[in-house]
Structures are given as structure tokens and as C-alpha cells.
Amino acid sequence: MSGPSSAKDEPITQRGQLVESIASGARPPADWRIGTEHEKFGFRIPDATTSADEALRPPTWEGPHGIGALLEGLTRFGWERVEENGRLIALLRDQASVTLEPAGQLELSGAPLVSIHETCREVGGHLKEVKSVADALGIGFLGMGFQPKWSRADMPWMPKGRYKIMREYMPKVGSLGLDMMTRTCTVQVNLDFANEADMVKKFRVSLALQPIATALFADSPFTEGRPNGYLSYRSHIWTDTDPDRTGMLDFVFEDGFGYERYVDYLLDVPMYFSYRDGVYHDLAGRSFRRFLRGELDELPGVVPTLKDWADHMTTAFPEVRLKRYLEMRGADGGPWNRLCALPAFWVGLLYDDAALDAAWDLVKDYTSDERHALRDGVPKHALKLPFRGGTVRDVAGEVLKISSAGLARRARTNHKGADESIFLEPLLEIVATNQTPAERKLELFHGAWNGSVDPVFTEFAF
């Protein structure tokens, strides 16, 4: 989740400013970049200094073994401090940031980079920095889609104003919103578009294929130490979080879709807050349209700025989100190689014209019912979900072929001459074996782990 926006504090006087805030992201292909974000769960490493009650628990912000201390330790690598009410809550460096999710999940929002090779080096460098600090604090990190062991009540809360507002609002609009905030982790990639038509085509392709990514990356089969009946429980959680700001956005496939229609959607998404003068003002459930008219009782006569609009854009959570770029939001968190695979998957599909055309040919006749059946079915069945006389595995295989060819044509190579398609290898193995990461962990749970999820914290830790 984002922090306060860095957009201009310029009053909004006309609707065109809202449209331009999105349209201004368009750029020529030579300037397209790749921004990768990933989250991970922290946990206390069992050792001589850890009590039985503390072992494997998520660290709080406070204390010598807390996330606050971890952020402080990372400053030695040149990260700039970001504080809220005197507490260190984020770090900035070279267009990248390290931030905290509501329960202390640690997120890297990577810099805009040219190739997946650079992305993977960035991820690897970040994990190395984190480990060097975390080891001394007795903290480990795990990449999965959902917290496998601890209950919602066991999760700590980070000292960030926007999370307090969301925490109070979420139970009013869905039963799983607090789980989304405290017990999920994802990996996503942010990609550019050339113009409005290019944005529309990429939005439609990525929205239609988002369930395929969810299936490939499914890695959240446990809740409170037991199998939960899902392979991507993280994805299921979004179906009962807040219907006003989540979902498949059927209007994206309607004739005439473009920047203006997405602005209309955002204006209908209820607000959470306005951040001004260093304070989060609770506006949960209020209308941004009324805010534009200066009609909010909480801020009488106040009209929003572009900064308020940029903040508001981050509070919509559809499967694909449009800002000044497109965000692919369908994948569970995971280990290092899948953190590199997710951007490779989407770059191969969307950053090569032939691949984008092939991907669109694959999905352009999907009906709304089919798109929703995929979205609703893959959290439980993943690759084995039946679809059009076959299964999602068949679709995933076709999509990976298209992506791999797109990456090969991009011809961005490393020092050994390998192109970016090498980063798809973990996904190709998942399709070849027809076994998602979640199914592999369930196999271990029922076998070598003897019905315990505790081994996941050692065998799958970063």
C-alpha cells in the first residue's frame, strides 16, 4: 500500500486535470520501464533469546527486535528516512522505497528499470541488505501469499495514520478486509503505455489474463496452521474485501473505454482519507465528487488537490490498476526467483507488439462470464480449473509461449548472452509438473512436515 503522494499540491478546478493525471503517464516505447514491488512476512527466528511464545511470530514495530529497528538498520545502506509522528515508517533511495504494510509486511517498491536482469539484481541486492540487518535482530522473512500460521488477532499494527482509518472502515464493507491488510503478501509489476489506445489494449489483455498469473503464482494454502481449501487464499480474500474498489472491471472491455471512463470509476470509489498538514483526515466512505464541490462536512469548503487525487487513486484495488502506468496485481508473494518471474511474464506479453497481438487474439473473445469464472475459480483450483474443454494449465502454457517469444524478441541479454526469457523457468516448471507452489507445500504438510506449517519458516525463508 502506498504512502502519501508526491504529486503537486495544486487545487483541482476542472475534470480535465484528473484525466491528464493519467494521460501524462504515456511515453514512447524507448522510455518504457519496469517497476517491481514485492512484500514479505517477517517472523522472529527461534533462538536462545526468543521465548516459546515469541518464536515465529511477526515482529511489532517497537522494540530491539522490531520492524522499526530493521528500518533503522537499513539506513546504513544510504536509504533516506521517512517519518510519521516521529516514527520511522519508510525509506527512500534512487527512485525506490522500502515501506511497511499494515502488519509490518516489508515491501520493496523498486525503481523504474530497463530490463528484468536489472530488476532481479535490484531484488537480490535488497534481500541481501535486509538479511544482513535482520539476522542481527533475530528476524527472518518469508515469501508467501498468506500468513500460514498466525491469526488475525496475532498480527501487529504499524503506526501509520492511513491504516488506522482503513482498519476501522474495512469491517463495514466486507468480512476479509482486515485479513487483506494484515495477512497477505503480493508481488506486482508496474508497466508503461504509449498512448490511450495502447493503454486500453494492455489493460484488457492483462485483466483477462490476471487469473492465469494468479494460478501460476498460487502460494497461500494455509490459514492458522491448517489447509484452508484454497491454493491462492490471498486471491480469494479480495472477493470479500470491498466490492466498491475491487474486482474485474467489466467496463474496461466496453466500447469507448479510455482515460475518461477510468476517471469516472475512480470518482465512484468511496474515499478513505485526505492527507494534509501532516494529518490523515478520516473521510472513509465519503464521495470524491462531493469533495470536488467542497461539500464534505469534515473539511468544509475545502476542495481537493492533485495530491489528494493521487492518494485516492491508490485506494482502488482492482485486479489491474491504472495510474500513470498499469499495475498487475494478481500474484501471491513468493521466493526470489518468482519475484523475477512475475515482471518477466508481463513484460514478455505487453512490451512486444507481436506478443501483445497474440495475447489479445487469445483472450478477445472471452465472455464476461468466462472472465469471472476464471477469476472466481483459480483461487481454489489454480491450474486444474476446467476452461473451454481443457484447463487453466493449457491456457498458461500458451501464454508462457507468447511471453517467452516476446522476451526473446526484446533481446535484452545479460553478460552471458541470455535473454530475459530465462526468468520464466520457474513458471515453465510449474506448468510442466502441473503443481503450483501451494500444492507442493500441501504435499509437504501431509508428508514430511507431519501436519505442521512451522517448517515453512525455515525451508522457504529468504
Question: Distance (Å, rounded) from C-alpha 8 to C-alpha 385?
Answer: 46
SS3 132: helix
CB-based contacts of 423: which residues, under 8 Å, 6+ apart? 116, 120, 337, 340, 341, 343, 344, 407
In 166-211, which ranges are E strands?
A: 186-191
Q: Which three cell numbers stand for residue 303?
A: 476542495
Residue 248 has what pLDDT?
97
231 assigned to some structural domain: yes
DSSP3 helix / strand / coil % (the chain, rounded to 5): 45, 15, 35
Sequence letter at residue 197: A
Verdict on whether the full-model pTM lies above 0.95: yes
143-167 residue pLDDT tens: 999 999 999 999 999 999 999 999 9
Phi, psi of 94 (to 5 degrees): 50, 50
Structural domain tally of the chain? 1
**What does the pLDDT look like over 335-383, one tens digit per residue?**
999 999 999 999 999 999 999 999 999 999 999 999 999 999 999 999 9
What's the pLDDT at 1? 44
Q: What is the pLDDT of residue 392?
A: 98
Where in the sequence is the domain holding 115, given as residue range(s)?
Answer: 15-457
Measured between alpha carbons, how far is 136 from 214 in angstroms, rounded to an integer? 35
Tell me if 358 is assigned to some domain.
yes
- The span from the CA of 316 to the CA of 243, in Å, is 10
Kindly give, in sequence order, each residue whose CB lies less than 8 Å from that of residue 162, ignoring residues fewer than 6 positions away.
1, 3, 272, 273, 275, 280
> Is position 406 within any domain?
yes
CATH number at residue 384: 3.30.590.20
Per-position pLDDT tens, the chain of length 462: 444 455 668 999 999 999 999 999 999 999 999 999 999 999 999 987 788 889 999 999 999 999 999 999 999 999 999 999 999 999 999 999 999 999 999 999 999 999 999 999 999 999 999 999 999 999 999 999 999 999 999 999 999 999 999 999 999 999 999 999 999 999 999 999 999 999 999 999 999 999 999 999 999 999 999 999 999 999 999 999 999 999 999 999 999 999 999 999 999 999 999 999 889 999 999 999 999 999 999 999 999 999 999 999 999 999 999 999 999 999 999 999 999 999 999 999 999 999 999 999 999 999 999 999 999 999 999 999 999 999 999 999 999 999 999 999 999 999 999 999 999 999 999 999 999 999 999 999 999 999 999 999 999 999
Enter the C-alpha cell of residue 181.
491488510
Classify each residue of 336-357 as buried b or exposed e, where b means 16 or more C-beta atoms within 10 Å of its C-beta: eebbbbbbbbbbbbbbbeebbe
- Grid cell for residue 170: 474495512
pLDDT at 5: 52
Which residue type sits at 99? T
- 174 within domain boundaries: yes
Q: What is the pLDDT of residue 53?
A: 87
Residue 462 is assigned to a structural domain of this protein: no
Grid coordinates representing 301 are: 469548503
204-254 tens-digit pLDDT? 999 999 999 999 999 999 999 999 999 999 999 999 999 999 999 999 999
**Residue 8 in domain:** no
Structure confidence at residue 48 (pLDDT): 73
CA distance to 27, 295, 320, per residue, from 301 (Å): 37, 6, 34
Burial per residue of 370-386, b for 16 or more beta-carbon CB atoms within 10 angstroms, e otherwise: ebebbbbbbbbbbbbbe
Q: What was the pLDDT predicted at 277?
A: 86
3-state secondary structure 241-268: CCCCCEECCHHHHCCCCCHHHHHHHHHH
